[in-house]
């Protein structure tokens, strides 16, 4: 579930603007995701690319080597909406479970 959540959040970051691996990890870290590095998200980016949710383009960077920039496809946009709906469902369910104080196990 955690992997799916991270994938959804990666899609959200990419949906905001075309971006590259390191920038995605920095944005996730800035939003409070702990211990996220470029290496953590790289396999997930590969999977999202394989599934057709994102497409990659190599572009020159002002410093250093070329960068692989990602942007969302139509499939990716659908995936993102579906993730958000599922997340709201889970969030409601988790809140419901934890907010029932004094009723353990319910």
Partner 1 sequence: MSTNKLKNSLRKSNNDMAKQITKENTPIINDMTIYLKASRISELQVEQIRQDLLEMTIAAEQRGDCLKSVIGDDYKAFCDEIIDNAGPKPLIESVKESVYIIAMSAMTLLIIDVIFSGFPARFLKEGIGNAGFDYNIPVTLGFVTSTVIITLVAWLLVYWVGKKAFEMSRGTEELKTKPKSATYPKRILWGLLVGAAVAAFFIMTVNFNEVILFSVHALIIAAVIVALYLATRWAK
| Contacting residues toward partner 1, per CB under 8 A | 21-22, 37-40, 42-44, 46-47, 50, 61, 63-68
Q: Give the integer Cα–Cα distance in Å for 76 and 48.
A: 8
Q: In this complex, which beta carbon is closest to partner 1, that of residue 61 or of residue 92?
A: 61
Q: Give the integer Cα–Cα distance in Å for 73 and 10.
A: 13
Q: In this complex, which beta carbon is closest to partner 1, that of residue 5 or of residue 40?
A: 40
| Helix, strand or coil, per DSSP, at residue 71 | strand
| Nearest distance from C-beta of residue 47 to partner 1, angstroms | 4
Nearest Cα neighbor of 25 from 8, 43, 40 is: 40
| Nearest distance from C-beta of residue 97 to partner 1, angstroms | 31
Q: In this complex, which beta carbon is closest to partner 1, that of residue 46 or of residue 88?
A: 46
| Nearest distance from C-beta of residue 67 to partner 1, angstroms | 7
| Helix, strand or coil, per DSSP, at residue 60 | coil
Q: In this complex, which beta carbon is closest to partner 1, that of residue 66 or of residue 78?
A: 66
Q: Give the integer Cα–Cα distance in Å for 50 and 19.
A: 17
């Amino acid at each position: 579930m955690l992997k799916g959540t991270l994938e959804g959040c990666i899609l959200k970051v990419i949906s905001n603007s075309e971006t590259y691996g390191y920038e995605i990890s920095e944005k996730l870290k800035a939003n409070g995701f702990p211990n996220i590095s470029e290496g953590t998200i790289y396999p997930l980016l590969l999977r999202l690319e394989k599934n057709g949710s994102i497409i990659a383009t190599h572009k020159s960077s002002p410093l250093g080597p070329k960068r692989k920039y990602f942007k969302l496809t139509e499939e990716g946009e659908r995936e993102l909406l579906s993730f958000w709906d599922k997340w709201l469902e889970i969030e409601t369910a988790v809140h419901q479970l934890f907010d029932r104080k004094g009723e353990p196990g319910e």
